[in-house]
A and B are shown apart, each in its own frame.
Chain A
Amino acid sequence: MSDPQPKHPFILTRADHFITWAQKNSLWPFGSGLACCAIEMIATAAARFDIARFGMELFRASPRQADLFIVAGTVTNKMAPIIRRLWEQMPDPKWAVAMGNCAVCGGPFPTYAVLQGVDKIIPVDVYIAGCPPTPQGLLHGLMTLQAKVARSRPTKEILNPDARRTR
């Protein structure tokens, strides 16, 4: 540890804590269910694995109403511009999760038609490996994302809009 962390005013830290607590417990996913992983995502939202206990049961159909982009499945080169456009349509603050091997790195398809990882077109926060990841795996990934959200500094972004780019 070289430089100590810059001092953050106590009141802003408390505000961050509160805002991130609210954000991480009510992430609204935009389920971009592309392939097989989409079925496991729906199974996670169903009764047995119950994503609602994390506050994420409200899968929005429109990207403008969502804050978590779960890319579930293979992103092909034909679909890539659409995924990019959907990501750009989502308002800040937003997070992206690459679910499944195909979204992480192209999966088992090193072919002419598949984008080798969705992080080539959108910034990904959490990578969930698996083909498909089990619902427990997806939930673990989402809990990891919640921990990441808890560490973020929303007040820095509110007070300084340029900070958004370096989150």
Chain B
Amino acid sequence: MLDVPADRPALREVHEALTGRFPDSVLAGSFEKGELAETIRAEDLLPVLRFLRSEHGFNCLDDLIVLDNVRLPEAPAKRFSVLYQLYRFPGDVRVRLVVDVGEDEPLDSVVPIYRSADWAEREAFDMFGLRFRGHPDLRRVYLPDDFDGYPLRKDFPLEGKGDGL
């Protein structure tokens, strides 16, 4: 059980509510540099987000970040980690949800819950090749549709493949 310091009562309350309602879904929690992060199972992503949004007021998805863990020394089983940075407006309470997902596993799209995730998920698909089930229009957002490869993966070279044009 993670020990959130007493001077952050709101975060403590969120952590306790989450671990109380979804005891099997929350795999790990961490509180570092003033930020609360909870690792949850991929299949419970939508219920957890719905819970946090409707019952704990996290009405904003600040950012959706994807990490490629393939080069890390501890080489985890699942290649990618998808981070959902949630924010409760008004106020200053923030929570980060971490979902680990393998290379060819699709993840549920959170667009039904947070509309601002639309292009963020397209960007994740464009840069990493992650697929999102239920996304209204999953296609590349930055690169041309016929681009070969997923640039932000660690095994993609910086200069690109081929001559570029």
Contacts and interface: CB of A to CB of B under 8 A. Distances in A.
B20 interface: no
Contacts of B165: 77, 80, 115, 120-121
B23 interface: no
B90 interface: no
Contacts, number: 28
Interface string A86-122: 0000000000000000000000001111011000110
A110 B159 contact: yes
Nearest to B164: A77
B160 interface: yes
Q: Is the interface on chain A under 10, 10 to 19, 20 to 34, or 35 or more residues?
A: 10 to 19
Interface string B128-165: 00000000000000111000000100001111110011
Chain B, interface SS category = loop
8 contacts: A77-B144, A77-B165, A80-B165, A111-B159, A112-B151, A112-B158, A112-B159, A115-B165
Contacts of B151: 112-113
Given A77-B164, A77-B165, A80-B165, A113 B158 contact: no
Contacts of A77: 144, 164-165
Contacts of B160: 111-113
B156 A112 contact: yes
B81 to A, nearest CB: 23
Interface of A: 77-78, 80, 110-113, 115-116, 120-121
Contacts of A80: 165
Interface residues of B, number: 12
A110 B161 CA distance: 13
A51 B125 CA distance: 44
A113 B151 CA distance: 9
B159 A113 contact: no
Contacts of B157: 112
A19 B159 CA distance: 45
Contacts of A113: 142-143, 151, 160
B4 to A, nearest CB: 40
Given A112-B159, A116-B164, 7 more contacts: A78-B144, A111-B159, A112-B151, A112-B164, A113-B151, A113-B160, A121-B165
Contacts of A110: 158-159
Contacts of B161: 112
A17 B144 CA distance: 47
